[in-house]
Structure 1
Amino acid sequence: MTQYELFAPAPKGLEPLLAEELRSLGAQNIAETRAGVAFSGDLKLAYRVCLWSRLASRVLLTVARFAAASPEQLYEEALLQPWEEHLAADGTLAVSCQVVRSQISHSRYAALKLKDAIVDRFRDRCGNRPSVDVERPDVRFNLHLDKDQATLSIDLSGESLHRRGYRTEGVLAPLKENLAAAILLRAGWPQIAAKGGSLLDPVCGSGTLLIEGALIAADIAPGLNRPYFGFEGWKGHQPDIWRELLLEARERRKVGLAQLPMIAGRDRDSKAVRAAHLNADRAGLGGQLHFSTADLADLRPPDNMEDRPGLLIANPPYGERLGERDELVHLYGRLGENLRRYFLGWKASVFTGNPDLAKELAIRARRKHNLYNGALQCQLLHFDINERWFFGAQKDQRPAKPAAPLSEGAQMFANRIKKNLRQVARWAKKNDISCYRLYDADMPEYAVAVDLYGPWVHVQEYQAPDTIDATMAQRRLKEAMAALPEALDVTPEQIFLKVRSRQSGRSQYRKLQEEGQFHEVTEGNCRFLVNFTDYLDTGLFLDHRPTRLLVQQMAAGKRFLNLFAYTGSATVHALKGGASSTLTVDMSRTYLEWAQRNLALNGFQLDENHRLLQADCLAWLEQAEGSFDLIFLDPPSFSNSKSMTGTFDVQRDHVALLRQAVALLAEGGVLLFSNNLRRFKLDREVLADLEIEDLTAATIPKDFARNSRIHNCWRIKARNT
């Protein structure tokens, strides 16, 4: 079947989620952009996305690209396109247009020129022309102008996919359906529903969050009730394929409804509750969802949910419905009080346009996501309703033993931590970074590294030299640990401590404990599991963050090889960047299992194109075959693992290692080589036949700028012959 270039626009902030969803639907060559996600597939895949995407706004099928630096050039080029292959001469059409950084600056004028070219071609060839119908045309054409380059597409959706067909009336400023779905996906609702957990919205409005939650939990295609799709009047439409997909979706709906968990909503506005009932009925969920009129002050788990804790989801007013900030402060305060009192063991996610008001909940957020409701930037805050996360919990647990005042040195350490946090946190927030180094032995007497992983703090004590009194070093460590909770506004339970000594060979990856506690963190559009207790390292090397982002930027359509892959973080970035295939190689089964969990966390599954391989990378390279467009090589400085036949020294052995890796590069392929040996020197003289670019300075992130020798990095290619 013919493969098409496709594009799915999405609201700002939903692109990573949409890429995961498209991958799960079978899309290929996925590449995120600021406005949506590009992908490829056959017509059945395009129809499937129209029917099943919970996040996309539209599905656009590309039919032509050309330069359009002026209205005249746009008209002449469009006049040459075979529009009669898509639309009947007596049909109807509409044209939409977006203009970005182009000499043609008015989207309406550009749309008009395209419409003129289409109808003029029909008039010249057929003697008559199609008419315009902006509401429900046979074919809606889309023109996207970016830097004077035109992309012409068929809008297969017809109207925005967020219009599911169930909402007949709403209350003030309801959430769009695809934003509601994104909130639920970020909140982990699919996993909670799969375990039989309940869903409750105490400020449900017209019920959008709960209806979308039911569609997700019952495996119901969000487009199943839509009365119209844009491809139905298109001459390329294949009705047999569409009927097959509809039949499959109806069968899945029948099965899913029988397994729907408890879902309930409340609102103090009786008109909103009536609208929610009507919308649920139109969605085919009449009698499945439970709505009632109730004030937030009376919030309790409904009787049928008492033994089925799950997710409380809420989109409290931003100010439009209840007015002044003082009333909103009271509303958030009541919500937090009832969560702490009656919802222990539940999860909660609150979507708000006033993040400062979330402090009134008096519960620490475990995770946060930035999303947009229209043009308004909002935050989605995730909570575990557990006493350890309540404000003041630490004080309540130790009433008889007030904290001792900090020593002068410890107070200086605390002040430095606060100063660093003020400086680095702004940069981190601006760049969507949640895991970063905050302090790295800035004060020599407090020789620790402090890393933030979202709400958790990872502290590593550097082994003191023999010249430092061990008792003094231990006292200063205790002082630092005592200062951190107050300086960072965290509980002691959120802080994890390790002693980091010089490591070599297999000891640098040795297991320390057997707790098996993993925590989820984010890095841009990627999610990772980290472990603060069981190993010397957490599973995510923070100084390599820019290098991983570089991998993602370079990966679109590439065959990617990750050597010495550790927990597979570079592979996740490559897949996020649209790598066509990946091979992830490491000697450790433990780390490969960890890598597989990281892949699954980001919506990626192993198949014939995306594989994990347990092998000694050195031995594997000696007999490896294949061709790769992008290779990431990050070996240890030294290794004498029992799984190896000899030892490895990156300084001694790097020339042979690089030559073996370069031999696997396809024409034009790139090798990214990195290591953490501070005194490492690349033998450029012996490797003079290779094209080598030093990326070290460019890949040292701001939070590690105080320690510019933390790693080395090069971009290496075979020279053109």
Structure 2
Amino acid sequence: MSDRYELFLTCPKGLEGLLVEEATALGLEEAREQSAAIRGYATLETAYRLCLWSRLANRVLLMLKRFPVADAEALYRGVLAVDWADHLEPSGTLAVEFSGRGAGIDNTHFGALKVKDAIVDKLRSLSGQRPSVDKLNPDVRIHLRLDRGEAILSLDLSGHSLHQRGYRLQQGAAPLKENLAAAILIRAGWPRIAAAGGALADPMCGVGTFLVEAGMMAADIAPNLKREHWGFSRWLGHVPAIWKKLHEEARARAEAGLARPPLWIRGYEADPRLITPGRNNVERAGLGEWIRIYQGELATFEPRPDRNQTGLVVCNPPYGERLGDEASLLYLYQNLGERLRQSCLNWEAAVFTGAPELGKRMGIRSHKQYAFWNGALPCKLLLIKVQPDQFVTGERRSETRPQEVGAAAPSEPARLSEGGQMFANRLQKNLKQLGKWARREGIECYRLYDADMPEYALAVDLYRDWVHVQEYAPPRSIDPEKAQARLLDALAAIPQALGIDPGKVVVKRRERQSGTRQYERQAAKGEFLEVTEGGVKLLVNLTDYLDTGLFLDHRPLRLRIQREAAGKRFLNLFCYTATATVHAAKGGARSTTSVDLSKTYLDWARRNLSLNGFSDRQRLEQGDVMAWLAEDRGEYDLIFIDPPTFSNSKRMEGVFDVQRDHVALLDLAMARLARGGVLYFSNNFRKFELDEGLVARYAVEEISASTLDPDFARNPKIHRAWRFTAR
């Protein structure tokens, strides 16, 4: 066989240039980049060295043959022409991986089958025996890539992917692959920093991938030194003597590297569940003397190596997978920037992010940026020199800090943009006006801002010392990047303007709702906050659903019901979390009945009632309101109906549309209203028109204006409400 082979090294997209540099240094000749791969020429010894030492490659493929493919038969004949007896025992095992399409081969499974058939037929024709397929641990793994009518047939020398070093048996929720982590460290200059004796710290280390890859580089440990199974181990072309020499050299280099005084490499992780897995990974990599992992929040991160020593801070902050993650991520990046400025002066920093717009919010300029891919997600590596001339903070801040809302904002807040400052000023103006009213009325949950400035289309609600932000979906005419930038400007302003802990800001995105989408679960934290209103205690959940369990705009209606409920039989239809029922019970209702289709919200209603000691004479009914009303024969003195605009739950028959169905709904409800009773009907469908026939049959008074408190006075279309009595 030839002493010089053509090799293909695959890698994650974006690493090709780095891999060419690395592979050339390891002996690959005539290296050229391709998409997610490089190619070049090398001896078998260099091929082995690449397997052992490449920190960036996924696989090392030794090309066996190139040939044109016009159809499936040509594919079969081309593979059949290879002398497979040089590579595989007739009784051995193989696996075939096929990629690409064309020449009538549009199914990778079919292509792999044709390749396998050719190999099996060739060996069987020579010996009468045939190899078998083993997809997990074959003697040889064959790759065939079909590209524009040409087949590239290769042997995989790696076995499983080279990024799997073997030390990381436990990992976090969204780990970086080891070779991507290595590429980030190389781009960030860690080999240079390590050679000069510098330190390394990761303030969000997860299970320690950056730490281990950095430690292996600094200690001169081949990344795959401990791998036991290789793609070439049972290949008939394997030369054990060459491999043994290279492996022993690598072992000696690792022993010498580990014998040197260890560098200062430290990781910090807030999640206690990841500390032990991270430390176990470090021990498996043989770096227990070099690396330490501590539990700690980002806010407490402060690397303290030897005096005057500097180094590299590297981290991969969370990207955010759900709408509403913007607030926590923005404040995380701001906090990271603050920690770098305060505790890592003259260090270098590398922030790998899938949200580069958040990287701009750290208050430090990056001097270089590199594009990478983390799987299918485009990412940026931001390289930063932590020096005062790179800081962009502390130049502008809000004039006043309303201490009545919450704790003080950070001592060195990020500079607000011009628009962010305008937004902060508006919040403070509103707080000054509405705060006095809320304190006078004993109200601790109210709307502070509701798209007062059109370019900042948000609703900002206060729930004691928490802030609940709803972003209205921008129209299609607005550039999404510009809308996102305005949202981040607003979120940056909120803690500064209101003097609250950034960790108590929750963000949701409110879009035009269909069906019961507004009631669907958005998260699963299960955290409830107890608030008070009109002398009753209510549970709200700021994170798990689009709505919180308390419609703030209905506060005046709830209080009206409380005032009128004494001695009455109260019926609450579409009761949601039954906050109006709690008010009726507080007002002395003789009995209450609450109906809703959702078991989740009825359980929540039960908790609201129990929280106030109202367990007797409170009936909760699960069911479709229209069907329930048609069957009910009860009589009620006070009825409250606040239906959804539209509902098509699987548990109800048909579809409810408030405009179409309100007449039937109100007729059914009025049939249950006792003599002298009152029915309150409200809904938030902005185009709603009350049917004139209802006005002819019943005494109807629109009371919308009197059901709006000052926090909703600027948005009179938030809901409409009517008072019904019998004629």
Map of 1:75 onto structure 2: 76
Task: Name the SS for the 2:233 alignment partner.
Answer: helix
Q: Give per-residue Cα distances to partners, 1:434-453, cap 9 Å, x unaligned.
A: xxxxxxxxxxxxxxxxxxxx
Map of 1:183 onto structure 2: 184
- Structure 2 residue identity aligned to 1:285: L
Correspondence 1:281 to 2:286: no
Deviation of the 1:101 alpha carbon: 5.6
Map of 1:436 onto structure 2: none
Map of 2:435 onto structure 1: none
Q: Give per-residue Cα distances to partners, 1:254-283, cap 9 Å, x unaligned.
A: 111233311000100112121111111111
Deviation of the 1:108 alpha carbon: 1.7
1:296 to 283, 295, 298: 298
Task: Name the SS for the 2:30 alignment partner.
Answer: strand
Figure out how many residues of one structure are paired with residues of the other and give that number. Answer: 395
Give the Cα–Cα distance (whole angstroms) in 2 for the partners of residues 368 and 144 of structure 1: 33
Give the Cα–Cα distance (whole angstroms) in 2 for the partners of residues 233 and 99 of structure 1: 27
Give the Cα–Cα distance (whole angstroms) in 1 for the partners of residues 104 and 367 of structure 2: 46
Contact preservation (8 Å) 2:88, 2:236: yes
The root-mean-square deviation of aligned C-alpha atoms, in Å, is: 1.7
Contact preservation (8 Å) 1:201, 1:265: yes
Correspondence 1:202 to 2:208: no
Q: Give per-residue Cα distances to partners, 1:331-361, cap 9 Å, x unaligned.
A: 1111111111111110000000000111221
Correspondence 1:128 to 2:136: no
Counterparts in 2 of 1:56 and 1:100: CA distance versus 1, 3 Å = farther
Q: Give per-residue Cα distances to partners, 1:448-472, cap 9 Å, x unaligned.
A: xxxxxxxxxxxxxxxxxxxxxxxxx
Aligned residue runs from structure 1 range 181-260, under 5 A:
181-259=182-260, 260=262
- Structure 2 residue identity aligned to 1:307: N
Q: Give per-residue Cα distances to partners, 1:612-639, cap 9 Å, x unaligned.
A: xxxxxxxxxxxxxxxxxxxxxxxxxxxx
Larger deviation: 176-185 or 353-362? 353-362
Contact preservation (8 Å) 1:348, 1:385: yes
Identity of aligned residues (%): 48
- Structure 2 residue identity aligned to 1:230: G
Map of 1:161 onto structure 2: 162
Aligned residue runs from structure 1 range 372-391, under 5 A:
372-391=373-392
Larger deviation: 311-320 or 97-106? 97-106
Contact preservation (8 Å) 1:333, 1:360: yes
Give the Cα–Cα distance (whole angstroms) in 2 for the partners of residues 315 and 132 of structure 1: 40
Give the Cα–Cα distance (whole angstroms) in 2 for the partners of residues 370 and 258 of structure 1: 36
Give the Cα–Cα distance (whole angstroms) in 1 for the partners of residues 224 and 306 of structure 2: 29
Map of 1:654 onto structure 2: none
Aligned residue runs from structure 1 range 117-516, under 5 A:
117-259=118-260, 260-302=262-304, 304-320=305-321, 324-392=325-393
Task: Name the SS for the 2:232 alignment partner.
Answer: helix
Deviation of the 1:323 alpha carbon: 6.9
Q: Give per-residue Cα distances to partners, 1:11-31, cap 9 Å, x unaligned.
A: 110000000001111111111
Counterparts in 2 of 1:102 and 1:329: CA distance versus 1, 3 Å = farther
Give the Cα–Cα distance (whole angstroms) in 1 for the partners of residues 322 and 169 of structure 2: 20
Give the Cα–Cα distance (whole angstroms) in 2 for the partners of residues 381 and 5 of structure 1: 35
Give the Cα–Cα distance (whole angstroms) in 2 for the partners of residues 309 and 253 of structure 1: 25
Contact preservation (8 Å) 2:72, 2:104: no
Give the Cα–Cα distance (whole angstroms) in 2 for the partners of residues 125 and 157 of structure 1: 28
Contact preservation (8 Å) 2:142, 2:154: yes
Contact preservation (8 Å) 2:157, 2:232: yes
Give the Cα–Cα distance (whole angstroms) in 2 for the partners of residues 393 and 6 of structure 1: 54
Deviation of the 1:193 alpha carbon: 0.5
Give the Cα–Cα distance (whole angstroms) in 1 for the partners of residues 323 and 271 of structure 2: 11
Give the Cα–Cα distance (whole angstroms) in 1 for the partners of residues 12 and 117 of structure 2: 30
- Structure 1 residue identity aligned to 2:319: Y
Task: Name the SS for the 1:151 alignment partner.
Answer: strand
Scaled by the length of structure 2, the TM-score of the pair is 0.53
Deviation of the 1:395 alpha carbon: 9.1
- Structure 2 residue identity aligned to 1:10: C
- Structure 2 residue identity aligned to 1:60: L
Give the Cα–Cα distance (whole angstroms) in 1 for the partners of residues 356 and 369 of structure 2: 10
Give the Cα–Cα distance (whole angstroms) in 2 for the partners of residues 269 and 395 of structure 1: 34
- 5+ residue gaps in structure 1? 397-721
Scaled by the length of structure 1, the TM-score of the pair is 0.54
Task: Name the SS for the 1:372 alignment partner.
Answer: strand
Contact preservation (8 Å) 2:9, 2:57: yes
Map of 2:603 onto structure 1: none
- Structure 2 residue identity aligned to 1:158: G
Instruction: Identify which of structures 1 and 2 has the higher relative contact order when contacts are C-alpha pairs closer than 8 Å and 6+ apart.
Output: 1
Task: Name the SS for the 1:114 alignment partner.
Answer: helix
Contact preservation (8 Å) 2:101, 2:108: no
Contact preservation (8 Å) 2:101, 2:107: no
Contact preservation (8 Å) 2:94, 2:135: yes
Contact preservation (8 Å) 1:19, 1:32: yes
Deviation of the 1:156 alpha carbon: 0.2
Contact preservation (8 Å) 1:165, 1:227: no
Give the Cα–Cα distance (whole angstroms) in 1 for the partners of residues 278 and 33 of structure 2: 34
From the CA coordinates, give the structure whose radius of gyration is larger. 2
Counterparts in 2 of 1:340 and 1:283: CA distance versus 1, 3 Å = same
- 5+ residue gaps in structure 2? 398-727
Contact preservation (8 Å) 1:91, 1:130: yes
Map of 1:49 onto structure 2: 50
Give the Cα–Cα distance (whole angstroms) in 2 for the partners of residues 102 and 314 of structure 1: 46
Give the Cα–Cα distance (whole angstroms) in 2 for the partners of residues 392 and 201 of structure 1: 23
Give the Cα–Cα distance (whole angstroms) in 2 for the partners of residues 253 and 85 of structure 1: 35
Larger deviation: 363-372 or 29-38? 29-38
Give the Cα–Cα distance (whole angstroms) in 2 for the partners of residues 104 and 322 of structure 1: 41
- Structure 2 residue identity aligned to 1:291: I
- Structure 2 residue identity aligned to 1:284: G
- Structure 1 residue identity aligned to 2:366: A
Aligned residue runs from structure 1 range 98-113, under 5 A:
98-99=99-100, 103-113=104-114
Counterparts in 2 of 1:65 and 1:10: CA distance versus 1, 3 Å = same
Deviation of the 1:308 alpha carbon: 1.8
Counterparts in 2 of 1:228 and 1:323: CA distance versus 1, 3 Å = farther
Give the Cα–Cα distance (whole angstroms) in 1 for the partners of residues 360 and 65 of structure 2: 51
- Structure 2 residue identity aligned to 1:294: G
- Structure 1 residue identity aligned to 2:236: K
Counterparts in 2 of 1:292 and 1:390: CA distance versus 1, 3 Å = same
Contact preservation (8 Å) 1:15, 1:34: yes
Q: Give per-residue Cα distances to partners, 1:359-407, cap 9 Å, x unaligned.
A: 22110000000000001000000000001001158999xxxxxxxxxxx
Contact preservation (8 Å) 1:387, 1:393: no
Give the Cα–Cα distance (whole angstroms) in 2 for the partners of residues 285 and 45 of structure 1: 27
Counterparts in 2 of 1:322 and 1:383: CA distance versus 1, 3 Å = farther
Give the Cα–Cα distance (whole angstroms) in 2 for the partners of residues 199 and 170 of structure 1: 21
Give the Cα–Cα distance (whole angstroms) in 2 for the partners of residues 164 and 24 of structure 1: 21
- Structure 2 residue identity aligned to 1:349: A
Aligned residue runs from structure 1 range 578-597, under 5 A:
none
Contact preservation (8 Å) 1:203, 1:267: yes
Give the Cα–Cα distance (whole angstroms) in 2 for the partners of residues 208 and 14 of structure 1: 18
Counterparts in 2 of 1:101 and 1:74: CA distance versus 1, 3 Å = closer
- Structure 1 residue identity aligned to 2:43: D
